[in-house]
A and B are shown apart, each in its own frame.
Chain A
């Protein structure tokens, strides 16, 4: 572990206040990404606070002029994967998401609710969920999402495609599990997958 105690002194006061300002500006986005990843608002906010402290500690590694949102998302993602492996999150979803009607497509009896979408999202494997969140909700390009997740662009495209297909299917059939990970087998599978993702092996092993 290298101690780069002096490097932060190289930053000008202006750069430091720029960093603080930019970090402050991305907090709402960090909260939104975290909420999508782990579902429960309180845990999501804990994750964001942890991310802010880590980002602050690592600020001399931030390159001014690059995307603060992308940089902090990487930190948040790593913190999330670590916490997931410590079993802090069990895929619980936000009970507070309004039962708001999202869309009532013609020819379908049941309208789609935002809460259905949210719950369906939380049933996806972590790597597909994060890919879809980054691209479909956060508005990142495939290239940016790939950089955040540390994988190939094609991998991100494939994950987004699979995530979309799975959500479409679930929403069309109304087959949304109430709780994704009550089942211990499913939970173990998720954790094993997280090991892969965190180790950067997600690229080769699945598309």
Chain B
């Protein structure tokens, strides 16, 4: 709570207030960035091209059955 508020979007900000980020911290970013920098597979370009032809209202109905079961705390096996 007492940690100084920083407005820049650097998510590792908390690590600077006394705690040293672990030596592997940069590796986490490397893993993430390596995927961000990958060339986008054609399947994504195809999907993005197709989106304009999909009416959101109809897509919503189709996706409706797939809606995340938020709050349905089923614990049974």
Binding site for B on A (CB under 8 A): 1, 3-5, 8, 20, 23-24, 27-29, 31-33, 35-36, 45, 48-50, 52-54, 56-60, 78-79, 81-82, 97, 102-103, 105, 112, 114, 117-118, 121, 132-142, 144-145, 154, 157, 160, 164, 167-168, 171, 192, 195, 198-201
Contact = CB atoms under 8 A, between A and B. Distances in A.
A57 B63 contact: yes
Given A31-B38, A56-B59, A36 B32 contact: yes
Given A52-B48, A53-B63, 18 more contacts: A20-B48, A36-B32, A53-B47, A54-B63, A57-B54, A57-B56, A57-B63, A82-B68, A103-B23, A105-B23, A121-B31, A136-B12, A136-B28, A137-B28, A160-B14, A164-B25, A168-B22, A198-B69
Contacts of A145: 11
B74 interface: yes
Contact of B51 (A52, A79, A81): A52
A14 to B, nearest CB: 14
Contacts of B31: 32, 35-36, 97, 114, 117-118, 121, 137
Interface in B8-27: 9-14, 22-27
13 contacts: A23-B48, A31-B36, A32-B31, A49-B43, A52-B44, A56-B59, A58-B56, A79-B68, A97-B31, A138-B32, A139-B10, A164-B25, A200-B71
B3 to A, nearest CB: 9
A65 to B, nearest CB: 16
Contacts of B51: 20, 23, 52, 56
Given A79-B68, A192-B75, A117 B11 contact: no
A157 B2 CA distance: 13
A53 B47 CA distance: 9
Interface centre among A20, A117, A140, A160 (most CB of B within 10 A): A117
Contacts of A135: 11-12, 14
B20 to A, nearest CB: 11
A45 B43 contact: yes
Given A32-B35, A112-B27, A134-B11, A27 B44 contact: yes
B22 to A, nearest CB: 5
Contacts of A1: 64
A3 B62 CA distance: 12
Interface in B33-55: 33, 35-38, 40-41, 43-44, 47-48, 51-52, 54
Contacts of A50: 66
Contact of A32 (B33, B68, B69): B33
